[in-house]
Amino acid sequence: MKIRKEDIIRIEDFLWEIPQAFNSRMRVPARVLASEELLEAIMEDRSLVQLVNVASLPGIQMASLVMPDVHEGYGFPIGGVAATEFPGGVISPGGIGYDINCGVRLLTSSQKISNIKDKLEMLSQELNKEIPSGMGKGGTIHLEPEDLDEVLRKGAAWAVEQGYGELEDLAYTESNGCLEEADPALVSDMAKKRGADQLGTIGSGNHFVEVDYIEEIFDQDAAKALGLSDGQVVILIHTGSRGLGHQVATDYIREIMKTMPGYGIQVPDRELACVPFNSEVGKDYFKAMCASANYAWCNRQIVSWEARTAWKNIFGKEAALKLMYDVAHNIAKVESHRVNGSLIKVIVHRKGATRAFGPGFEELPEKYKFVGQPVIIPGSMGTCSYVMVGTDKSSELTFGSCCHGAGRRLSRTAAKKLVNAPVLKQKLREKGIYVEAGSFKGIAEEAPIAYKDVNQVVGTVCASGVAKKVAKLRPVAVIKG
Amino acid sequence: MKIKYLPHTADIRMKIEGSSFKEILAAGVLGMANILKDGACNSKGIMNLKVEVAIEAADKTCLMIDLLSDVLSHSYTSKGIFCEIYFNELSDNNAIAVVQGYRTNGFDEEIKAVTYHEAQVVMNKDNRWETIIIFDI
């Protein structure tokens, strides 16, 4: 399948459509949220072919969608949203991804960057010491099977009960850090074995802990509500459900591929394997996915505790880091959205996309209700990141979703060929950014050149109206696996 | 056997080729070991880690992916690299095998999953078996 520019029509300034008529398998159109320049870059890999394939899923509603940070994935594109009819439409583990509830959270401090510049190197070393990272590495917490089941049931609340955080943290976490449908009995022994020693670890790849400061405020009222101010030092954490989530996805994709033909479903790519949400295996997967999502929220809560420990070690016992918000960007949720004028329940698959609900959303903490749900967009190492808030328009256009990062543009191999990691590390140091990484390979693969321009990506989602910029963050220390 | 790593925007695309189905399965195990730790199987050290894997699948392609997924899971739980595979039974949709390797202190790369995307075990025009495998990184 080849998609040419002539196959795509502009339906709004920043919204493009591949009509349903483009391919006989499509049940709905495929839509791209992007500027023209970004659209042309997106056309360079197989993202749009994958988007068209997603439009063929049984029960899909309105359109398959991608955000401006989209890039080619394996089956579903990364940076995509697909909402299917509830409860008879399909659920597809590939539409969530292997790293279930990969997400980001932002911790805020009372320190200004100008006051702590001389302590940044020490802080980055302390964070690196306190937060286990790296390939397949375990953490310091080793869970007994009954404790792991409690983590899978309770999510971030388990960590708070054990002293790894404050009760208030839960109110500032998407879904309060727990999906109640979770059932630990539906998570395999292998997945539990992989998860037993990985709580409080960030892993590798594009996962990180980063110290930033607020470089620019775009919306003073929203920033004030979110507790953000000019020059303030903040900490960004990006990680997910680690080996446990990877194994749950692997187990259920295998199972679903076996049972899918029994429902008469055929998909153009095996990684789109899916079953009706209300089938036995569909329900089992959803409950196991919820358990994995809970593990991820618990993981980010414990990583926060490790970051808080490092912070106190440098700035004293009274120094605190508050949780601004925690958002998932690989997850499926049952939500209500307006489709063709009617409010209906749908199963929203977000794979590399962030929930971006507007003001008034009842789950939000009281202080945030008038500004909308915080959306945290990490950029690439050495560039910048953003805090935004969702809008009502996101519900109309994108099932309440927006982008999740800058989006890769170069393969890891290409990045390694182009980037001299020791030189990059030194250059970042000269720009005032300390990098603590497990390997030079990791630095090269995650170099800024490997990513799209986050300013352009964020500019596009804001211009389209699905989110509003609140603050721009500039990194000063990066801890990578 | 031949193992080649090809470009992919975010993940790793590996092409493997072999004179038999058994040989590309072995190539898959070796190619994955080299992603986890570059050159991990170059020198024949003490292969003191052995795990049995038993897979039933719909076809050759699923068998390949499911087998590699199981080997990957064992790599993480036993903190080891598996370099070789010996089959006790092998058909188009069934394999009972022993993978052999050694324990390691860490990996160079964390593979999240072995995906079915683009995988298609086929005989090519040179009468050799081949497939692409995409690893989620």
Task: Give B121 to chain A, closest Cα distance, Å.
Answer: 13
Superfamily of domain B2-136: Archease domain (3.55.10.10)
ipTM: 0.94
- A428-462: per-residue pLDDT in tens? 999 999 999 888 888 898 889 999 999 999 999 99
Which tokens go with B54? 């038993």
> Measured between beta carbons, which residues in chain A are less than 8 angstroms from residue B80?
none
pLDDT of A135 over the 90 cut: no
Q: pLDDT tier at A134 (50, 70, 90 boundaries)?
A: low
- The predicted pLDDT at position B68 comes to 98
Q: Do A137 and B106 touch (CB under 8 A)?
A: yes
| pLDDT in the model for residue A1 | 85
- As a whole number, mean pLDDT of residues A401-413 equals 92
Q: Does B77 touch chain A (CB under 8 A)?
A: yes
Cα–Cα separations (whole angstroms), residue A441 to A56, A419, B109: 38, 9, 9
pLDDT value of position B105: 85
Q: Tell me, yes or no, if B103 comes closer than 8 A to chain A by beta carbon.
A: no
Contacts of B5 in chain A (CB under 8 A): 413
Average pLDDT, rounded, for chain B:
94
What's the whole-number average pLDDT of chain A?
A: 95
Cis before residue A87, ω within 30 degrees of 0? Answer: yes
Confidence check: pLDDT of A115 > 80:
yes
Nearest-Cα residue of chain B relative to residue A452: B9
Selection from A132-136, A324-328, A414-418 with the highest mean pLDDT: A324-328
Q: Which residues contact A362 (CB under 8 A, 6 or more apart)?
A: none
A34-43, A282-291, B101-110: least confidently modelled range: B101-110
Q: Which whole number is the average pLDDT over A366-375?
A: 97
Residue A8 and residue A22: Cα distance in Å, rounded? Answer: 9
Give the residue-averaged pLDDT of A413-435: 91
**Chain A residues in contact with chain B using a Cβ-Cβ cutoff of 8 Å:** 45, 71-75, 78, 97-99, 134-137, 190, 193-194, 203-205, 243, 246-247, 249-250, 253-254, 257-258, 269-271, 273, 408-414, 439, 441, 481
* Closest Cβ opposite residue B115 in set A74, A136, A409: A74
Give the minimum alpha-carbon distance from A193 to chain B in angstroms, rounded to a whole number: 7
pLDDT of res. A132: 86
B108: which chain A residues are within 8 Å (Cβ-Cβ)? 135, 439, 441
Residue A362 has pLDDT above 70, yes or no: yes
Q: Assess whether pLDDT exceeds 80 at residue A133.
A: no
Q: Tell me if chain A has a CB within 8 Å of the CB of B14.
A: no
Has A404 been annotated as catalytic? yes
What DSSP string runs through A109-160? EEEEHHHHGGGHHHHHHHHHHHS--STT---S----HHHHHHHHHHTHHHHH
Instruction: Tell me the residue length of chain B.
Output: 137
| Local structure of residue A329 (DSSP, 8 states) | S
Q: Is the pLDDT of residue A157 over 80?
A: yes
* pLDDT score of A215 more than 80: yes
Instruction: Note the pLDDT of residue A164.
Output: 97
For the ranges A363-372, A430-439, B38-47, the lowest mean pLDDT is seen at B38-47
Determine the average pLDDT of the residues in A116-134. Answer: 92
| Closest residue on chain A to B7 (Cα) | A411
Query: Closest-CA residue in chain B for A42?
Result: B9
Going by pLDDT thresholds of 50, 70 and 90, the confidence category of residue B8 is confident
Triad A354, A358, A361: Cα angle to 5°: 100
**pLDDT on residue A413:** 83
- Backbone φ and ψ for A479, nearest 5 degrees, come out as -115, 120
pLDDT at residue A273 tops 70: yes
Which residues face B101 on adjacent strands? B49, B82
Report the C-alpha gap between A286 and A270 in whole angstroms: 19
Task: For residue A211, list its beta bridge partners.
Answer: A235, A477
Per-residue pLDDT, averaged over B19-29, amounts to 97
Domains defined along chain A, listed by start: 5-130+202-243+311-409+451-480 (3.90.1860.10)
> Do the Cβ atoms of B110 and A205 come within 8 Å?
yes
Residues of A in contact with B73 (CB under 8 A): 190, 194, 247, 250
Average pLDDT estimate for A97-104: 97
To the nearest whole Å, the CA of B22 is away from the closest chain A CA by 21
* C-beta atoms of A135 and B76 within 8 A: no
Tell me the backbone φ, ψ of residue A202, rounded to 5 degrees: -100, -20
A100/A103 Cα distance (integer angstroms)? 9
Task: Single out the residue of A239, A234, A233, A235 nearest to residue A208, CA to CA.
Answer: A239
Residue A307 has pLDDT above 80, yes or no: yes
User: Which sequence spans correspond to the domains of chain B?
Assistant: 2-136
Question: Which residue in chain B is spatially nearest to A241 when comparing CA positions?
Answer: B112
**Chain B: closest CA distance from residue A261 (Å):** 11
- A43-83 tens-digit pLDDT: 999 999 999 999 999 999 999 999 999 999 989 999 999 99
B-chain residues near A98 (CB < 8 A): 112-113, 136
Our CA-based measurement puts residue B11 at a distance from the nearest CA of chain A, in whole angstroms, of 7
Task: Inspect the interface and report whether the beta carbons of A414 and B66 lie closer than 8 Å.
Answer: no
Helices (H), B5-126: 21-36, 60-78
Task: Look at residue A136 in the predicted model and tell me its pLDDT.
Answer: 58
CA distance A63 to A55: 7
A381 in Cβ contact with A435 (< 8 Å): yes
pLDDT tops 90 at residue A480: no
Nearest CB neighbour to A135, from listed B5, B77, B108 = B108
Q: Using the predicted structure, report yes or no on whether residue A286 has a pLDDT greater than 80.
A: yes
B75, B77, B106 member nearest A134 (Cβ): B106
The percentage of chain A sitting over the pLDDT mark of 90, rounded to a whole number, equals 90
- Quick check: B108 and A134 CB within 8 A? no
Touching check for B15 and chain A: CB below 8 Å?
A: no
Interface touch A271/B116, C-beta < 8 Å? yes
